[in-house]
Amino acid sequence: MEKSLNKIFDTYIGEEKDNIFDEGFAKFFEDHGVDPEGAMTLAFAWKVKCERVGECSRQEFVSGLTALNCDTTAKIKAELASMTSQLKTNNSKYKEFYRWVFTFFLNQLEKGRKTLDKEQALEVWSIVLNGHFPLLDKFLAFMEKNEENHINADLWNQVYDFAAEIRPDLSNWEDDGAWPVVIDDFVGFLQEGSS
């Protein structure tokens, strides 16, 4: 299995022999039927335990795909299709992935950081919440104007909960004080826009 995975890996490397970077990663995903700009690239990184954004080491690739029992292009395509399906239909699995994304991006920053910059959070939200949050465009527009410049884990997680639980028409919204202020303000923004 290792030999065939090393051969597949070598197809996508650049000058550095032990890492696949952005261009090689994009080609890998294109060749396996995945949008290189979509959330499934992050889901792949999650599954094979990549440590860096836009980068996959030979060790991560080989051990991660070995653990998934994928040693051919066909098996990798099938696994990616299965991941896509599972993440679309299994809300708890997607929530687990979504929470991992915050930590993954946080780990790219200087040690000790507990927040993402708003610009980075907006970019990542546009990828990972696409197709999972009907109000995403409105939320991103609201957040661009919002004074909140740093996104902590609590807000990150609550945004997902809001996206998963609250209907787009807000008919099941309850102003019970359990949501972060940013979410309350977003709901106010939506209600003002509809009146």
Closest CA to 129 of 161, 154, 104: 161
Structure tokens given for 121: 């959070």
160 pLDDT tier (thresholds 50, 70, 90): very high
Residue at 28: amino acid letter: F
Res 111: pLDDT: 85
Res 16: pLDDT: 87
Q: How many CB atoms lie within 10 A of CB 121?
A: 23
- Is 10's pLDDT higher than 80? yes
pLDDT tens for each residue of 63-90: 999 999 999 999 999 999 999 999 999 9
Residue at 47: amino acid letter: K
Res 71: pLDDT: 95
Q: What pairing do the DSSP bridges indicate for beta strands 19-20 and 56-57? A: antiparallel
HSE value, Cβ hemisphere, 13 Å, CA-based, for 58: 14
- Is 15's pLDDT higher than 90? no
Question: How far is C-alpha 145 from the geometric centre of its chain's CA atoms?
Answer: 23
Q: What is the 3-state secondary structure (H, E, C) of 124-149?
A: HHHHHCCCCCCCHHHHHHHHHHCCCC
pLDDT tens for each residue of 102-144: 999 999 988 889 999 999 999 999 999 999 999 999 999 999 9
Q: The pTM is what?
A: 0.92
Q: From residue 180, how far is each of 11, 175, 185 by CA, in Å?
A: 46, 11, 9
Q: How many CB atoms lie within 10 A of CB 23?
A: 12
Q: Which residue has the tokens 């690739």?
A: 61
Q: Could you give the CA distance from residue 79 to residue 34 in angstroms, rounded to a whole number? A: 11
Residue at 30: amino acid letter: E
